[in-house]
Amino acid sequence: MKTSFTQAIDLVYPDLDSKIRNEIKERVTGNMLEFLKHKVFDESEQASFDNEINQILDPKQKSENYGRKIMEKLLSLPEDTQKQINGDLDLELIRVMNKIDEAIQG
Instruction: Please provide residue 13's backbone torsions phi and psi, each rounded to the nearest 5 degrees.
Output: -125, 55
Residue ranges of the domains in the chain?
Answer: 5-105
Q: What does pLDDT average to over the chain?
A: 89
The answer, yes or no, to whether residue 2 has pLDDT greater than 90, is no
* pLDDT for residue 3: 60
pTM over cut 0.85: no
* pLDDT for residue 83: 95
Average pLDDT on 27-54 reads: 92
Helices (H), the chain: 5-12, 18-40, 43-54, 59-76, 79-105
Average pLDDT on 1-21 reads: 80
Q: Report the distance separating Cα 13 and Cα 8, nearest Å.
A: 8
